[in-house]
Structure 1
Amino acid sequence: MDAAPVNNVILLADSYKVGHYQMYPPGTTHTYSYFESRGGKFPYVCFFGLQYILKRWLTGPVVTREAVEEAKELYKHALRTDTIFNEAGWNHIIEHHGGHLPLRIKAVPEGTVLPTKNVLFTVENTDPAVPWLTSYIETLLVQAWYPMTVATISRINKQILHHYHELTHENTDKVEFSLHDCGYRGVSSVETAAIGGASHMINFQSSDTVAGTCLLRKYYHVDTVGGYSGPFAEHSTITTWGKETEADGHSHILDVFKGTMVGCVADSYNVWECCDKIFGQKLKDKVLEHAKSGGILSIRPDSGEPSVVVLRLLEILSKHFGVEVNSKGYKTLPPYLMVVQGDGMNYKTMGEVLAVMEENGWSAGCVGFGAGASLLQRMDRDTLKCAYKCSMASIGDKEVEVFKAPVTDPGKTSKKGRLSLHKEDGKYVTLQHGKGDPDTDLLVPVFENGKLLLDYTFQEIRQRAQLSEEDPDIMEFLKACE
């Protein structure tokens, strides 16, 4: 995560920010901005990732003479003039603050789940000489949209899984291992994989995106790992054995990894015959031997219509290995056998698979899922309509409320004045105009003048993000998505 093409904090901003210090009203000494989800696809957000940004980029003496000179030279060419760059302002930060950014940031604790359209963090300058700094840092801080959105999508998936496990399975113990992150290769960079992979691990303990664990170890006090994996086959490990000897490839895997949880991809050629003739007949004794040694076999189809494929494979496997009926009246495979569907999965298609299983009398405990692009990549800043806006400024001896209210899009109307977050009658509410009681404000100081004030552990974030009775009805949400 440190091998970035840009390590200069002055360059972590859109170029047009460089000249903004000259655009504020004369006498401006203080600006105050906030970040929120203005709505979007989901009814709530799971807030995560600000601590990574603060520790990675903003903590400590981040402004240096070398950084100023580098930025001065670059922006001279980018803006085609050497008269815009705020060299004096950045040098002021070096001379008066030792290179530490004179900013105060308050934020909702990471892992908090709250409805959209609430303030998530606020930012303000602490030195009247640099009121422009609050907005300058917007570009970087708004990138909190990504971990927050991944964590939210992941949690929506968790709600769906929990619903069906609670309905059809003996318990919900498997839920946190029922959605595997397969998105490492499908994202735009290693850093994206690290941030997105870590965000998913808030909700699930199953992942192949080891970069996520690396980020958590460095920035969130994880000692071991955030997500677990195992010896799972890919197509090359089966197809190199050849079509006629496909069974030998699967047999070899069961031999090498005896007594463990192994995964075999079954659709290299004919998924129906693989499950029926290879696992159900030719290798049945080996599967049972694997089970006796404590092993679990997960069979992964990777093509076809998911709900059709999963249901048919469950029926084929039950024909050969038997079926039990649990206390809730749903069919289950033996505990050493399961189907893992990874192709084409998102919260909608996963819900469809689980609905078809429930309609046909199958327990959700028989199946696991994997997700890649839909989990880590298929989203943008507008998925949750994330925005960072100025809501208050001090100009001369007056404190003024700042807002936008575009007539062409009322949904972009911004909040006014100082903001605080509270719970009233069990519901989150953002109070504007500085009316909130500081003693009950749920926004807590996390950064001030270059210092990190709170250093959350991943365990407490994960605990904060747990499902609760306050969550909106997930089935109503899915119906609204149809």
Structure 2
Amino acid sequence: MTIIAPTMKKDVYKEFHQRAYHPEVTRVYSNYTSRSNKLSNIENNDKVAFVGLQYFILNHLVEEWNVGFFALPKELAVKQHRRIMTAMLGYPVDVTYLEELHDLGYLPIRIKALEEGTLVPYQVPPMTIVNTKDGFQWLTNALETVLSTENWPIQTSATTAIEYLKVFREFAKKTGLPEDFVPFQGHDFSFRGMFGMQAAAMSGFGHLASGLVGTDTIPAVLFAEKYYGADVDKELVGASVDATEHSVTCSWIMEGEIEFFRYLMREQSPTGILSVVSDTWDFWTLVTEYLPQLKDEIMARDGAVVIRPDSGDPVHILTGYRMLEAGNHSSREEARQAALDAGMEGYIFDGNLYALEEVEGNDYADPYQLMPCQVKGLIECLWAIFGGTMTDKGYRLLDEHIGAIYGDSITLKRQRQILQRLMDKGFASKVVLGIGSFTYQYVTRDSHGSAVKATSVVKAGERVAIHKDPKTDSKKKSARGLLRIERDDDGELICLNDVTPEQEAGGELKVVFEDGVLVRQTTLREIRERVAKQIA
């Protein structure tokens, strides 16, 4: 549902502010800043990706304000606002200030910002906003609420996606995985778990802005085309593959999975990448019995068959168990304790394999007993069946006709565990990992402490620096006065507080929006290029 009501895209209490500002204040200057990594979803994070402002400008400041306010007759433009606000506040709301804005005919606002795709240190504002005409001082922070809610989610998702990309690149370099595979390793599966279609599109664009291209979130691609000049006919915006789900597999319950695989490979997807969800019934039987029977057909196919487990602990499913070698233990409990003391995940006793914790999916009455395939993990099992080559770094690389994807529950912690364990076992990091709504939505505005705060006003014709500095929370201390963003001798962005108007006019912040017009545009391609340079 889309509600076009630009004058009411704010907190109710802001209705009062146009009367509450000091009568002699004519300009309000604010900034948007990510203030702290205290609650960051990324360990030891030091920068936040600045992405999403152009969308906010085009969608809200230009389209919504023009269609839902300036293009309407004045009385109609303010009628709904007067009615709703009067009902919510309990007294007749005076909308004269909105009528004056309608008479003006545009939003008297200037936004200065860094280039989108810039990785910005905490406490450094990537953008500032100020009213450009006296009498509209209320407008700057009336936009705070919608500015915040339309920007922090995209930036947070982009920052998270960049961290995934950095880890994928790290292990690709270590193990010799071809670098052109890396952008496809992190796949956005978050759509169904997001807070609606718009949230999915916004977050999904943040994912794409990082440089990752794997996605099943179609609205993110539409978003990129509409707001960031992307064109799927001319560039790779987002990519996916032929893939099944459990309902499809279940429709072959009578014929079985071998016939299902053959039908897909022969008749529906004879070339290219084919991803098949493989744990609908018995994952390890499929891996150890069915895949060997299908080997010749898979190896003869023009493309890759990708095996997709969708349940169980992804670390163990993909990489197996770290086992204590068999020793001279007098009892199973003694062997178990030895494995526990050694930091292992399993042990061998009396010729059998056991995990320290209960496992699912085995064929034994003992819930701790492991099958050899479970100890190996999927990647090693696929290598045993299909083989592959050695990279120039000396790591085993699965044959090009076979692959693996785990599309569920892959946090940043699990991502690193999986890739590290594969490397420890001698495998290149050839695996695709899904990034879902748990990752992209289990965050808040506080994840990076993102906030809009006023730092300067013009009062009685004089420039006055203002700031907040709560004694009860030093992390909420705001900047002060007019701000200038520049780079220090090491090339790092820094914020200079309380500068002169002449100094504020320079620096790294450039005007992107002024008096109703977007004056500086960027594209998805440019954003990706900027990110790539900074994480090289």
TM-score (norm 1): 0.92
What's the offset of the Cα at 1:437? 3.9
Contact 1:181 1:375 in 2 (8 A): no
Match of 1:478 in 2: none
Q: Secondary structure at the match of 1:219?
A: helix
Contact 1:340 1:370 in 2 (8 A): yes
Match of 2:50 in 1: 47
Out of 200, 215, 222, the residue aligned to residue 214 of structure 1 is 222
**Structure 1's 439 and 58: CA in aligned 2 closer, same or farther, altered over 3 A?**
closer
CA distance in 2, matches of 1:468, 1:272: 42
Out of 283, 287, 292, the residue aligned to residue 271 of structure 1 is 283
| Correspondence 1:16-415 to 2 at 5 A | 16-40=13-37, 41=40, 42-59=45-62, 61=66, 62-63=69-70, 64=72, 65=74, 66-82=76-92, 85-95=93-103, 97-98=104-105, 100-143=106-149, 144-202=151-209, 203-224=211-232, 226-242=237-253, 245-255=256-266, 256-279=268-291, 281-290=292-301, 293=302, 295-311=303-319, 312-364=377-429, 366-415=430-479
Q: Secondary structure at the match of 1:180?
A: strand
Give CA deviations for 1:202-225 in whole Å, capped at 9, x if unaligned: 121111000001111111111216
CA distance in 1, matches of 2:24, 2:506: 33
What's the offset of the Cα at 1:349? 0.9
What's the offset of the Cα at 1:57? 1.1
Q: Secondary structure at the match of 1:302?
A: coil
What's the offset of the Cα at 1:39? 1.6
More moved, 169-178 vs 418-427: 169-178
More moved, 323-332 vs 28-37: 323-332
More moved, 62-71 vs 309-318: 62-71
Give CA deviations for 1:382-430 in whole Å, capped at 9, x if unaligned: 1111010000011113211111111111110110001121111111101
Contact 1:234 1:264 in 2 (8 A): yes
Match of 2:333 in 1: none
Contact 1:243 1:269 in 2 (8 A): no
CA-atom RMSD, angstroms?
1.6
Contact 2:108 2:514 in 1 (8 A): yes
Contact 2:119 2:534 in 1 (8 A): no
More moved, 159-168 vs 393-402: 393-402
Q: Which amino acid aligns with 2:185?
A: S
Q: Which amino acid aligns with 1:180?
A: H
Match of 1:450 in 2: 516
Contact 1:159 1:467 in 2 (8 A): no
CA distance in 2, matches of 1:197, 1:375: 12
Q: Secondary structure at the match of 2:534?
A: coil
CA distance in 1, matches of 2:253, 2:383: 27
**Structure 1's 133 and 440: CA in aligned 2 closer, same or farther, altered over 3 A?**
closer
What's the offset of the Cα at 1:197? 1.0
Match of 1:479 in 2: none
CA distance in 2, matches of 1:243, 1:90: 67
Q: Secondary structure at the match of 1:284?
A: helix
TM-score (norm 2): 0.83
Contact 1:8 1:67 in 2 (8 A): no
CA distance in 2, matches of 1:467, 1:351: 23
- How much identity, in percent, do the aligned residues show? 28
Contact 2:120 2:126 in 1 (8 A): no
What's the offset of the Cα at 1:54? 0.8
Match of 1:462 in 2: 528
What's the offset of the Cα at 1:68? 1.0
CA distance in 1, matches of 2:505, 2:94: 38
CA distance in 2, matches of 1:124, 1:439: 13
Give CA deviations for 1:80-110 in whole Å, capped at 9, x if unaligned: 111xx34111111111x21x11111111111
CA distance in 2, matches of 1:282, 1:138: 61
Contact 2:483 2:504 in 1 (8 A): no
Q: Secondary structure at the match of 1:345?
A: coil
CA distance in 1, matches of 2:107, 2:461: 24
Match of 2:359 in 1: none
What's the offset of the Cα at 1:43? 1.4
CA distance in 2, matches of 1:139, 1:418: 21
CA distance in 2, matches of 1:327, 1:28: 66
Q: Secondary structure at the match of 1:36?
A: strand
Q: Which amino acid aligns with 1:219?
A: Y
CA distance in 2, matches of 1:243, 1:17: 63
Give CA deviations for 1:49-94 in whole Å, capped at 9, x if unaligned: 1111110111163444223111011101011111xx3411111111
Q: Give the paired residue count.
A: 458
Higher radius of gyration, 1 or 2: 2
Give CA deviations for 1:260-300 in whole Å, capped at 9, x if unaligned: 11101111112111111111x2211210121xx2x111111
What's the offset of the Cα at 1:329? 1.2
Structure 1, unaligned runs of 5 or more: 472-482
Give CA deviations for 1:446-481 in whole Å, capped at 9, x if unaligned: 111111111211111111111536x7xxxxxxxxxx
More moved, 449-458 vs 430-439: 430-439
Contact 1:119 1:420 in 2 (8 A): no
CA distance in 1, matches of 2:94, 2:138: 10
Contact 1:161 1:175 in 2 (8 A): yes
Contact 1:208 1:229 in 2 (8 A): yes
More moved, 371-380 vs 161-170: 371-380
Contact 2:388 2:400 in 1 (8 A): no
